[in-house]
Amino acid sequence: MRRHKFNTNHLGQAFQSSILPKSFALIPGQKFFVRNEQGKYKIQFYDLNSDKKYEFWRRGSSAGSKIINPNYRTIIQEVEGKVIGSLITSILKHVSDKQVAYRFMDAFSYDYNLRRQLQRGASFKLKVEKKYEEKEFIKYGELLYAEVDINGKNVQRRFVEFPDGGAFVDEEWNQENRPFYAPASYSTFSSLFTYRRRHPIQGYVKPHLGLDYELPEGANIYAVSSGKILRMGRNRAAGNYVVIRHLNGLESYYNHLKSLDSSLKAGDFVAQGQVLGKNGCTGYCTKPHLHFAIKKAGKFVDPIKYVKSYPYHRRSYVKRELALNKE
């Protein structure tokens, strides 16, 4: 902004009321737009995580800021390619955004480990939204479709949008034998269940006996099935946590929540899909996420094998899926 002649006085005024959300970040290479309309000099930044843009302006010696809803035009880009090197770099040859490549991995994350299971030359397809304002490409939107050959088998996933997230679904789903529904709406895993992981804070190798869901702060955390709250509260490592015992004898653990639903207490029964609290970063935590774990007969087991990726219990989602089908 200084390069565009916003002086200290302008900056003071422009940032007097902070319009930027805490989560806002500029990434290197991110575009911004400069407009000069009849002496009003404007700089506009697009928020890549939400559908907002932020304007800072100056005119003479005064300055200010405002939030704008961009008028996006969305087109769908279709990509077909082959995996040469890693899947991520293969996707990046067609799509210039790592998030899209990560999202592609997310689409299969409950059933496959694409980092390990893909063969060289495997073909993939995807459809992704691209958002434009006027003639300018601003950002990629949601990954709508993902397809990849895994050991000769063609596997497809379609994105279903929820009011607060979404999931990737498969027509030939075979997750019915999984007892639990997902504890959160999106399914980006930042850490998988493993007996060997370098601890992000302390640095030494330590098992990670749960599954980390990367979620925005404040996202709802749901009970994966009905059951009785064994314990809930706050401790140093887990932060705000809940432990539920289910009818099948399994226990589910939810750690690092920002807040717990104040109407709940130990001993209460909860329904499947009931909100337990909000995602956060309490306890030993560096970035908002849900640490989710399952205990079976006193031992932690890999949750990924117990959880359905698609929350069928939340009926409003099914409607939206049907609507998408018609297009």
- Check binding of 251 to Zn ion (CB under 5 A): no
**Count of chain residues binding Zn ion (CB under 5 A):** 3
Residue 239 interacts with Zn ion (CB under 5 A): yes or no:
no
* CA gap 210, 194 in Å, rounded: 8
Candidate ranges 48-56, 101-109, 160-168, 205-213; the one touching Zn ion (CB under 5 A): 205-213
Nearer to Zn ion, 170 or 217 (CB): 217
How many whole angstroms separate alpha carbon 90 and alpha carbon 123?
Answer: 10
Told to check if 278 binds Zn ion by CB under 5 A, we report no
- Is there a contact between 40 and 57 (Cβ–Cβ < 8 Å)? yes
Q: Is 210 in the site for Zn ion (CB under 5 A)?
A: yes
Is 53 near Zn ion (CB under 5 A)? no
* 256 binding Zn ion? (CB under 5 A): no
Q: Which residue is nearest to Zn ion (CB)?
A: 291
In the complex, the smallest distance separating the C-beta of residue 214 from Zn ion, rounded to whole angstroms, is: 11
What is the per-residue DSSP string for 156-169?
Answer: EEEEEEETTEEEEE
Amino acid found at 64: G
Q: Looking at beta carbons only, is 16 or 194 nearer to Zn ion?
A: 194
Q: Segment contacting Zn ion (CB under 5 A): 168-176, 181-189, 202-210, 310-318?
A: 202-210
Stretch that binds Zn ion, among 132-140, 171-179, 210-218, 301-309 (CB under 5 A): 210-218
Between 115 and 199, CB nearer to Zn ion: 199
Q: Which residues have C-beta within 8 Å of that of residue 311, sequence separation ≥ 6?
A: 162, 167, 181, 182, 185, 222, 273, 317
Choices 87-95, 126-134, 208-216, 234-242; region in contact with Zn ion by CB under 5 A? 208-216
CB-nearer residue toward Zn ion: 210 or 277: 210
- Should residue 130 be labelled a site residue for Zn ion when binding is judged by CB under 5 A? no
Contacts of 91 (CB under 8 A, 6+ apart): 79, 81, 100, 101, 104, 124, 126
Distances (CA, A) of 92 to 87, 149, 185, 188: 9, 18, 26, 19
CB 132 within 8 A of CB 75: yes
Q: How far is the CB of 269 from Zn ion (least distance, A)?
A: 26
State which residue, 57 or 189, has the beta carbon closest to Zn ion. Answer: 189
CB count in 10 Å sphere of residue 276: 25
Smallest gap from residue 155 Cβ to Zn ion (A): 27
**Spatial CB neighbours of 54, under 8 Å, sequence gap ≥ 6:** 19, 20, 24, 44, 45, 47, 65, 66, 67, 68
Asked if 214 is part of the footprint of Zn ion (rule: CB under 5 A), the reply reads no
Cβ proximity to Zn ion: between 265 and 287 the closer is 287
Among 147, 212, 251, 261, binds Zn ion (CB under 5 A): 212
Shortest distance (Å) from residue 178 CB to Zn ion: 20
Torsion sign over Cα 140, 145, 146, 147: negative
Q: How far is the CB of 304 from Zn ion (least distance, A)?
A: 13
Binders of Zn ion among residues 287 to 326 (CB under 5 A) are 291
Surface-to-core class of residue 1, CB atoms within 10 Å of its CB (0-12 exposed, 13-18 middle, 19+ buried): middle
The Cβ of residue 161 has, within 10 Å, a number of other Cβ atoms equal to 16
Q: Which chain residues interact with Zn ion by CB under 5 A?
A: 210, 212, 291
